[in-house]
């Protein structure tokens, strides 16, 4: 295009952001500023959204400063985007501050805050905001109930969650969607109520989708319910035969139950079907640079120092009660044959690197593409205590805020 106006730039920024190309969206936003095209509310909303999805809190704050300078800070669409952006970057306090500053709030505002509290494990605040939302006159929608049901699931509010689910149709005229049914299955199965979860699935008025079966299978690993886990896995593999997560979950269920032959058969089936597992990866920003780690990673320039300090941290943690979880996915023979450093999870490496690299008092913020395991979760609790650091970990499902040996999830996640 020979001539590009703000609509042209906004279309490109929004297109990239909505299709998941967040870095490209921010690059175009920066180019737009360089050629001095005046951004609009629409521009800033898309840019803030992109920064949030990348967990680029520094970029987000820079954009917020530009918003304030241009007098857009009172615009409700931008404020809603900022609440979500800060929540996705791990700063729930900034989300709360922005929420309280807003003179006017709409349903998107309330949904953003309910979802933020839900993602950060504060289910009681999420439920409290839901009740305040109804009192304010804002009307709950499908997005609202996903946030509320997830919040109830994460803190074990089973009865409350069931009541909210039933109220969707009775009180609000909303027909539950597949994701709402999956939330209820998660609510019941997380609490160990697997029989109720199975009955709920069997009585669903719609056909259970992969999300429902995957949720059920995940809980069967925790509670070692092989029979129900195999049923869930069969349905899941029928629906998504090329999804690696399904095979990994089934394999892990057999491993924690020490059924090694079945575990090996599952891995072989996965291999024969040409399905590849997504590797676990954690990353952290230090000095404006992203440092990424994989399991057993030794490619980082400071790898020797990281592993040496990790051993020191392990010893200090053990001195105050940390015991490594040996509920391994490997049998004893495999463990004896392998170098133990090959199984150091990526989040441990990222946290150790952060402690080596960041000044005292600076919170550590780690992102992970998969769910954090129970051993790493427990280890980080001890590390937050001995290092006197706030450590925030965002995994594939939620945020964990570690401080003084405790986690915001209260070990229920």
Q: How far apart are CA 164 and CA 150, in angstroms?
A: 11
Is it the case that residue 182 has pLDDT exceeding 90?
A: yes
154: confidence class by pLDDT, cuts 50, 70, 90: confident
What are 128's two structure tokens?
Answer: 């409290």
**Dihedrals φ, ψ of 178, to 5°?**
-50, -35
Answer yes or no: are the C-beta atoms of 368 and 376 closer than 8 Å: no
Number of helical H runs and strand E runs in the chain? 20, 6
Answer yes or no: are the C-beta atoms of 352 and 309 closer than 8 Å: yes
CB burial string 289-307: b at 16+ within 10 A, e below: eebbbebbbeebeeeeebb
For 44-48, what is the mean pLDDT? 95
For 42-57, what is the mean pLDDT? 92
For 321-344, what is the mean pLDDT? 64
Looking at residue 167, what is its pLDDT? 97
CB burial string 126-149: b at 16+ within 10 A, e below: bbebbeebeeeebebeebbbbbbb
Based on the number of CB atoms within 10 Å of its own CB, is 203 exposed (0-12), middle (13-18) or buried (19 or more)? exposed
212: confidence class by pLDDT, cuts 50, 70, 90: very high
Is it the case that residue 208 has pLDDT exceeding 60?
A: yes
For 173-192, what is the mean pLDDT? 95
Is it the case that residue 210 has pLDDT exceeding 60?
A: yes
For 232-258, what is the mean pLDDT? 92
DSSP character at residue 329: S
338: confidence class by pLDDT, cuts 50, 70, 90: low
Is it the case that residue 327 has pLDDT exceeding 60?
A: no
For 299-311, what is the mean pLDDT? 95
What are 242's two structure tokens?
Answer: 């090329």
Looking at residue 54, what is its pLDDT? 87
Looking at residue 3, what is its pLDDT? 84
Tens of pLDDT, residue by residue over 75-88, are 999 999 999 999 99
First-to-last alpha carbon distance for the chain, in angstroms, is 50
- Report the mean per-residue pLDDT for the chain: 92
What are 216's two structure tokens?
Answer: 């059920």
230: confidence class by pLDDT, cuts 50, 70, 90: very high
Looking at residue 121, what is its pLDDT? 86
Beta carbons within 8 Å of 104's beta carbon, 6+ residues apart: 76
Looking at residue 55, what is its pLDDT? 85
Tell me which residue of 117, 43, 49 sits closest to 80, measured CA to CA: 49
Q: How far apart are CA 366 and CA 293, in angstroms?
A: 11
340: confidence class by pLDDT, cuts 50, 70, 90: low
Q: How far apart are CA 191 and CA 4, in angstroms?
A: 55
Is it the case that residue 175 has pLDDT exceeding 90?
A: yes
CA–CA distances in Å: residue 388 to residues 52, 343, 350, 361, 382: 27, 26, 17, 8, 10
328: confidence class by pLDDT, cuts 50, 70, 90: low
Based on the number of CB atoms within 10 Å of its own CB, is 117 exposed (0-12), middle (13-18) or buried (19 or more)? buried
Q: How far apart are CA 197 and CA 213, in angstroms?
A: 11
pTM of the model: 0.86
Q: How far apart are CA 169 and CA 162, in angstroms?
A: 12
For 170-180, what is the mean pLDDT? 96
For 357-368, what is the mean pLDDT? 92
Is it the case that residue 181 has pLDDT exceeding 90?
A: yes
Looking at residue 333, what is its pLDDT? 55
Tens of pLDDT, residue by residue over 381-408, are 999 999 999 999 999 888 999 999 999 8
- Percent of the chain with pLDDT strictly greater than 90: 77
330: confidence class by pLDDT, cuts 50, 70, 90: low
Looking at residue 397, what is its pLDDT? 84
What are 32's two structure tokens?
Answer: 């737009």
CA atoms within 13 A on the CB side of 372: 32
CA atoms within 13 A on the CB side of 232: 33
325: confidence class by pLDDT, cuts 50, 70, 90: confident
């Amino acid at each position: 295009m020979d001539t590009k106006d703000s609509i042209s730039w906004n279309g490109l920024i929004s297109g990239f952001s909505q299709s998941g190309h967040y870095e490209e969206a921010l690059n175009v936003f920066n180019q737009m500023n360089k050629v001095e095209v005046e951004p609009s509310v629409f521009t800033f909303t898309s840019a803030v959204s992109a920064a949030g999805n990348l967990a680029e809190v520094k970029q987000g704050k820079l954009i917020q400063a530009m918003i304030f300078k241009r007098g857009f800070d009172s615009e409700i669409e931008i404020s809603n985007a900022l609440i979500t952006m800060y929540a996705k970057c791990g700063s729930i306090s900034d989300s709360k501050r922005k929420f309280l500053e807003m003179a006017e709030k709409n349903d998107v505002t309330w949904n953003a805050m309910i979802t933020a509290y839900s993602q950060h494990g504060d289910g009681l605040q999420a439920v409290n905001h839901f009740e305040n939302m109804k009192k304010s006159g804002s009307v709950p929608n499908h997005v609202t109930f996903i946030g509320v049901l997830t919040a109830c699931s994460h803190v074990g509010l089973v009865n409350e969650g069931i009541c909210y689910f039933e109220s969707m149709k009775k009180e609000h005229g909303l027909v539950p969607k597949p994701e709402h049914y999956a939330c209820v299955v998660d609510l019941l199965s997380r609490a160990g109520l697997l029989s109720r979860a199975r009955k709920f699935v069997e009585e669903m008025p719609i056909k259970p989708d992969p999300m429902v079966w995957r949720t059920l299978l995940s809980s069967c690993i925790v509670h070692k319910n092989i029979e129900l886990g195999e049923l869930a896995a069969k349905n899941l593999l029928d629906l998504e035969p090329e999804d690696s997560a399904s095979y990994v979950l089934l394999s892990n269920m057999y491993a924690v139950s020490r059924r090694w032959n079945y575990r090996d058969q599952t891995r072989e089936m996965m291999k024969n079907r040409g399905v590849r597992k997504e590797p676990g990866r954690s990353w952290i920003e230090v000095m404006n640079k992203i440092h990424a780690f994989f399991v057993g990673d030794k490619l980082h320039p400071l790898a020797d120092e990281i592993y040496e300090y990790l051993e020191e941290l392990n010893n200090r943690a053990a001195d105050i009660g940390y015991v490594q979880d040996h509920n391994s996915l490997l049998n004893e023979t495999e463990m004896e044959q392998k170098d133990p450093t090959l199984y150091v999870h990526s989040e441990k490496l990222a946290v150790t690197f952060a402690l080596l690299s960041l000044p005292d008092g600076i919170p550590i913020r780690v992102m992970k593409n998969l769910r954090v395991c129970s051993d790493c979760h427990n280890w980080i609790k001890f590390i937050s205590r001995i290092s006197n650091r706030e450590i925030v970990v965002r995994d594939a499902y939620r945020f964990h805020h570690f401080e003084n040996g405790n986690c915001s999830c209260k070990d229920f996640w």
